[in-house]
Amino acid sequence: MLPSAQIRDAVMAQKPDVGALFDALRAGSRDGDGITRDTYGAGEQFAHKLISAQADAMGLETRRDHAANLFMTLAGKDRSTPRLMTGSHLDSVANGGNFDGAAGVVAGLVAIKTLQRLGRQPDCDITSVAIRAEESVWFQVSYIGSRAAFGVLPAGALEARRVDTGRTLGEHMAECGADIDAVQRGVASLDAKSIKSFVELHIEQAPQLVEAGIPVAIGTGVPGNFRYPQVKIIGEYAHVGLPRRFRRDAVLAASDLAVGLDDIWKKNEAAGRPMAFTIGRFHTNPKEHALTKVAGEMTLSLDVRAYDKAHLSELEGTVLNLAREIGQRRGVQFELGARTAADVAPSHPAVATKLDAAAKALGVATMPLASPASHDTATFTVAGVPSAMLFVRNANGSHNPREAMDIDDFLQGAAVLTGWLAAEAIS
Ligand SMILES: [Zn+2]
């Protein structure tokens, strides 16, 4: 056991170093007001080098796997016993914020440094991982790095093209030192049985902790989703003078869908069943649309998420029924296109309970919080690793340059992470 006061003091003493590390991350990936650490590109590569150098300076073992994920390990007394893991991703969206992802990797290093400073060797290995390619905006594929680590990335994903360069995931990975052949064959660098538990610290992406006045939350789970990235609604182009009853208007059909989904969300929320839907793209065809034409085509993307498997599949049925009903009523055709999905990943109750106990011992105020977003933790959970998340209060959301996490809040989160590791591995 390590006294909580010692943990707290040793974590807080790292404030200047932590500030300097976040500043260095920002300086090397600055892009306008924000930062860009592009997935399997120059930005992510820079961050991996910086963090790897930090781990070297701390005397940790570093290892890169076939997908170029970076594992930084403090050796335990018994190296054959299942390890404790923490970490997050280092990539970002374009012109994003400095803390989404990176906070979890830095927190892992802070926790390990704390144990080093207190001169305590853990019973088992403790590994902080810098995961590749979590941000699905670049290749429109989710959890690339973590799924490749568990050997469950579909081989076809390597053909996905990056939205800006037009080059394949395979090409980008190879440039960053990955072994594409091994990724293709589904080689695994992580095995669920060799990981005792995994905890990912992440900034909150909504203002719920700001609203509650609480610095840290313990995640209750990562939502599952189903996605239709490219829905087409086909109606009929017509002259602006066409009377209403003859129209097959794709814009009105798409609008009915959006408003109908919002209605479904409102009803679910009122019934205490958390969910979310997002139409991120919503557009007519610029080659054909015009001021004086009824639009005969709409394209939109749809992401629907929920925290319960049965609820999610019920929602999918409701959404498809809605589309069918609108199609009949408006005389349009819904072409749903490709579908992708991710499993619901509830936090492991025992891990969440231990995080709660660590926070209480340290005097850090926490609350339970359902994650609004997707995280690599879901891959660990689905693989069978007992996992949970910590969220740190953050104003202005994430995926934008105005994301604002107070370093003191971050250190409170890192202290909870350290307290959990110490309770698990310091005898
Ligand atoms: Zn993230």
> Which tokens go with 233?
């609604």
Cα 135 to middle of ligand 1, angstroms: 7
Q: How far is the CA of 351 from the centre of ligand 1 (A)?
A: 20
Cα 202 to middle of ligand 1, angstroms: 7
**If you measure from the C-alpha of residue 253 to the centroid of ligand 1, how many angstroms do you get, rounded to a whole number?**
34
Taking only the tens place, the pLDDT of each residue in 115-130 is 999 999 999 999 999 9
Cα–ligand 1 centroid distance for 101 (angstroms): 4
Q: Looking at 266-280, 344-358, 389-403, which range is the least confident one?
A: 389-403
Ligand 1 centroid – CA 398 distance (Å): 8
Ligand 1 centroid vs 80 CA: distance in angstroms? 31
Give the model's pLDDT for residue 35. Answer: 95
Averaged pLDDT for residues 48-57: 98
CA of 198 relative to ligand 1 center, distance in Å:
16
Residue with tokens 């011992």: 361
pLDDT at 364: 98
pLDDT tens digits for range 243-256: 999 999 999 999 99
- Model confidence at 67, pLDDT cuts 50, 70, 90, reads very high
Q: How far is CA 264 from the centre of its chain?
A: 25
Residue 292 in contact with residue 240, Cβ under 8 Å?
yes
Cα(115) to centroid of ligand 1, in Å?
Answer: 26
The confidence band for 97, taking pLDDT boundaries of 50, 70 and 90, is very high
How far apart are alpha carbons 389 and 116 in whole angstroms?
23
Mean per-residue pLDDT, 349-372: 95
Confidence of residue 142 (pLDDT cuts 50, 70, 90): confident
| % of the chain at pLDDT higher than 90 | 91
Tell me how far the alpha carbon of residue 372 lies from the centroid of ligand 1, in angstroms: 11
What pLDDT is stored for residue 7 in this prediction? 97
Does residue 372 surpass a pLDDT of 80? no
| DSSP per position, 314-383 | HHHHHHHHHHHHHHHHHT-EEE----EEE--EEPPHHHHHHHHHHHHHHT--EEEEE-SS--THHHHHHH
1, pLDDT greater than 80: no
262 C-alpha vs ligand 1 centroid, how far in Å?
Answer: 25
Arithmetic mean of pLDDT, 335-356: 94
Calculate mean pLDDT across residues 296-322. Answer: 96
Q: What is the pLDDT of residue 201?
A: 98
Residue identified by tokens 């017509």 is: 238
pLDDT tier for residue 28 given thresholds of 50, 70 and 90:
very high
> Residue 197 Cα, ligand 1 centroid: separation in angstroms?
19
The alpha carbon of 370 and the centre of ligand 1 are apart by a number of angstroms equal to 15
pLDDT at 398: 82
Q: How many residues does the chain have?
A: 427
How far apart CA 293 and CA 338 sit, in angstroms, is 29
User: Is the pLDDT score of 326 beyond 90?
Assistant: yes
Per-residue confidence band for 404, with pLDDT thresholds at 50, 70 and 90? confident
Ligand 1 centroid to 249 CA: how many Å? Answer: 38
Distance 203 CA to ligand 1 centre (A): 8
276 Cα to the center of ligand 1, angstroms = 18
The rounded distance, in Å, linking the Cα atoms of 265 and 70 is 39
For residue 131, the CA-to-ligand 1 centroid distance in Å is 10
pLDDT tens for each residue of 69-85: 999 999 999 999 999 99
Q: What is the mean pLDDT of the chain?
A: 96
Element (H, E) at 80: none
Q: What is the DSSP letter of 189?
A: S
Per-residue confidence (pLDDT) for residue 211, from 0 to 100: 95
Q: Which of 138-142, 215-219, 349-353 has the least mean pLDDT?
A: 138-142
Q: How far is the CA of 89 from the centre of ligand 1 (A)?
A: 7
State the distance from the centre of ligand 1 to the C-alpha of 200, rounded, in angstroms: 10
For the chain, percent of residues with pLDDT exceeding 70: 100
**Using 50, 70 and 90 to split pLDDT, how confident is the model at 396?**
confident
